[in-house]
Amino acid sequence: MVTATAQDDRERTDSVAAVIFDFDGVIVDSIHPDLLACSDLYREYGDGALPVEWWAREVCGRPDSYERLFDRLLAARKGGRQPDRARLRGRLDELWNAYFTEEYVRLMPDVRGALTRLHTAGLSLAIASASPRRWVERWLQHYELSHWFTAVVTGDDVAVRKPNPSVYLEALRRLGVAASASVAFEDSLSGITAARAAGVTVVGVPTPATRFLDHSAAHAVLDDLSVVSPEWLAEVRQAAC
């Protein structure tokens, strides 16, 4: 027989008070324009087309990501062209400026709907991103999303980025909630690792470019945010306990 006290303890454990979102690939699709920029760079300095599966596994969402891309390019120099790392970085910056625009950086599916449902239910919402603050704020303001979030934690706010859990621990501190009462949404493997290391239940939402990767470390995996509701989060949280 389950006592009233035990039942109350279980309900408190399973309840969700806060939801923490990664930014790139979860709130906005900056993954596709990044892939376009890296593909152009690879065509210019590499040997043929960029291997997308390699890019998704070794570059996308990793802390040393672009250094890995440069390493690959420098190891396979094409003909007599001898780019150095500084030239590759400069050219990638130019390509980012071309692709990180309103035309390419779009909201991920049903972001507004999910935020509305969760906020209406009284849940606290936060961002936990490895990206610089100026980048995150640029797109939050552009898509008029800033008012939804109680806390916005970026790579500028922590000493070590994902897969280290620091950004999630700081988000929890600012929200004033326990990890056990929180759910995170992440598209990258390093982000899933970070959220789990912080003790947060994590839902994987891979992008089209990364869906073939193994996201099984997440407690649940979704194609998009269309099914997300307080009730659904409670079920995920209970299953994770």
| pLDDT score of 8 | 39
| pLDDT score of 157 | 97
What CA–CA distance (Å, rounded) separates 197 from 217?
A: 11
Closest by CA position to 21, among listed 141, 118, 160, 157: 118
| pLDDT score of 75 | 86
User: Model's pTM, two decimal places?
Assistant: 0.90
| pLDDT score of 62 | 78
| pLDDT score of 76 | 76
Sheet with 18-21, edge to edge strand ranges: 151-153, 124-128, 18-21, 182-186, 201-204, 220-221
Name the one residue in this structure whose structure tokens are 């909630």. Answer: 177
For residue 55, what are the contacts with CB-CB under 8 A and spacing of at least 6? 35, 38, 69, 209
Q: At how many degrees (to 10) do helices 166-175 and 189-197 cross? A: 50
| pLDDT score of 131 | 95
Given CA atoms 169, 175, 178, 179 in this order, what sign does their dihedral have? negative
Structure tokens at 85: 């790392």
What CA–CA distance (Å, rounded) separates 228 from 50?
A: 34
Q: Is 6 exposed, middle or buried (0-12, 13-18, 19+ CB in 10 A)?
A: exposed
| pLDDT score of 61 | 81
Q: Which residue type does 82 have?
A: Q
Low-confidence residues of the chain, pLDDT below 50? Answer: 1-13
Upstream peptide bond of 163 is cis (omega within 30 degrees of 0) = yes
